[in-house]
């Protein structure tokens, strides 16, 4: 099942994508798609509905983040061995964690704003894991039972803020609009193996990232279990699982970064595509 939210910013309504690719409005059944709607009972009930009987939605409507009220985004750094090496770092012995705030979240096709003073805004296609059941100190063997589904995330990053301004990575990761998410939340049962998904990203039509989640250093059960040892994961929380090689920081012979007017297009097999235009900060 593919769940999404559509409409103007702050006025999104819940919807689902039917088998023919038509958007169907769910607002007569759900107030929204939040953590409360991601429990297994609700998802199973939604999956049993004949979507063709629900109102169709204009295909040209704006698509928002598929989950409302995300509490936290927990990101995993250096989770692809090749990306660690292109960053000049060794693959970590344990998952590297950092956070992105909710104010960074936008829809999958909304503009990304280059922050004031930025000279090194970068791209990162990532698989997002959406939590459906509260998880605390869970075992790896049970970890996937706490997952509601999967999403595409662009973990936009400002490398100078992240790496050259001292302190934690968060300051280069949490800028407004730096977390485009969607278009859909694809439920766990509809993804045969999240560790065998091709993912890619293009800048101005040039393919710069092209890899597979088969290259994970730490798989999803390990990540869910590991993170749950340090904090409770609540329904609607999202784990962003890391990016493969090909980010601007790692370009050869020299790094290059995003500028106003550039476009990013990215996707993950079975989870949909995003496209963003870069805009200058004007406030």
Percent of the residues in the chain that have a pLDDT greater than 90, as a whole number: 90
Instruction: Read off the pLDDT of each residue in 149-166 and give the average, rounded to a whole number.
Output: 94
Mean pLDDT score of the chain? 95
Q: Give one DSSP letter per residue of 198-255, joined into a string.
A: EEEEEETTEEEEEEEGGGBSS-HHHHHHHHTTTSPBPTT-EEE----S--GGG-SSS-
Domain, as residue range, for 209: 67-280
| Residue 136 or residue 59, greater confidence | 136
**pLDDT (tens digit, 9 = 90+) per residue, 237-257?**
999 999 999 999 989 999 999
Instruction: Read off the pLDDT of each residue in 163-173 and give the average, rounded to a whole number.
Output: 85
- What is the pLDDT, as a whole number, of residue 91? 83
* Nearest-angstrom CA–CA distance, 6 and 160: 34
Q: What is the pTM of this model?
A: 0.96
Q: Which residues pair with 279 in a beta bridge?
A: 113
- What is the pLDDT, as a whole number, of residue 277? 98
**pLDDT (tens digit, 9 = 90+) per residue, 13-35?**
999 999 999 999 999 999 999 99
Number of domains in the chain: 1
- pLDDT confidence of 168, banded at 50, 70, 90? confident
Task: Assess contact for 203 and 210: CB atoms under 8 A.
Answer: no
**pLDDT (tens digit, 9 = 90+) per residue, 62-88?**
999 999 999 999 999 999 987 777 777
Q: Which residue has the tokens 């999803």?
A: 220
- What is the pLDDT, as a whole number, of residue 82? 75
- Residue 201 confidence (pLDDT) above 90: yes
- What is the pLDDT, as a whole number, of residue 283? 75
Assigned domain for 103 exists: yes
Assigned domain for 216 exists: yes
Chain Cα centroid distance, residue 65: 9
* Nearest-angstrom CA–CA distance, 283 and 276: 20
* Nearest-angstrom CA–CA distance, 8 and 6: 7
Closest CA to 199 of 100, 103, 265: 265
What phi and psi, each to the nearest 5 degrees, are found at residue 104?
Answer: -85, -10
Assigned domain for 76 exists: yes
SS3 125: strand
**Which range is least confidently modeled, 77-91, 99-113, 266-280?**
77-91
Assigned domain for 15 exists: no
Assigned domain for 38 exists: no
CATH number for the domain that contains residue 274: 3.90.850.10
Percent of the residues in the chain that have a pLDDT greater than 70, as a whole number: 99
* Nearest-angstrom CA–CA distance, 77 and 96: 5
Assigned domain for 164 exists: yes
- What is the pLDDT, as a whole number, of residue 273? 98
- Residue 165 confidence (pLDDT) above 90: no
Instruction: Read off the pLDDT of each residue in 178-207 and give the average, rounded to a whole number.
Output: 98
């Amino acid at each position: 099942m593919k769940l999404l939210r559509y409409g103007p910013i702050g006025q999104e309504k819940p919807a689902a994508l039917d088998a023919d690719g038509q958007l169907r409005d769910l607002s007569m059944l759900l107030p929204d798609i939040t953590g409360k709607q991601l429990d297994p009972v609700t998802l199973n009930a939604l999956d049993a509905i004949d979507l063709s009987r629900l109102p169709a939605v204009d295909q040209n409507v704006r698509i928002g983040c598929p989950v409302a009220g995300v509490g936290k985004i927990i990101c995993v750094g250096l989770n692809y061995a090749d990306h660690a090496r292109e960053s000049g770092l060794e693959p970590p012995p344990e998952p590297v964690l950092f956070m992105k705030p909710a104010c960074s979240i936008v829809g999958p096709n909304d503009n990304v704003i280059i922050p004031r003073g930025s000279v090194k805004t970068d791209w990162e296609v990532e698989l997002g894991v959406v939590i459906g059941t509260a998880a605390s100190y869970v075992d790896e063997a049970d970890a996937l039972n706490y997952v509601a589904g999967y999403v595409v995330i662009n973990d936009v990053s400002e490398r100078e803020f992240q790496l050259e301004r001292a302190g934690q990575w968060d300051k280069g990761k949490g800028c407004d609009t730096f977390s485009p998410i969607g278009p859909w939340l694809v439920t766990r049962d509809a993804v045969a193996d999240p560790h065998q998904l091709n993912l890619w990203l293009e800048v101005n039509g040039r393919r710069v990232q092209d890899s597979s989640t088969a290259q994970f250093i730490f798989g999803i059960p390990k990540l869910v279990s590991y993170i749950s040892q340090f904090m409770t994961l609540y329904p609607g929380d999202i784990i962003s699982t890391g990016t493969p090689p090909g980010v601007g920081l790692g370009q050869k012979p020299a790094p290059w970064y995003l500028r106003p007017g550039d476009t990013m297009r990215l996707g993950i097999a079975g989870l949909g595509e995003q496209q963003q235009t870069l805009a200058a900060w004007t406030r």
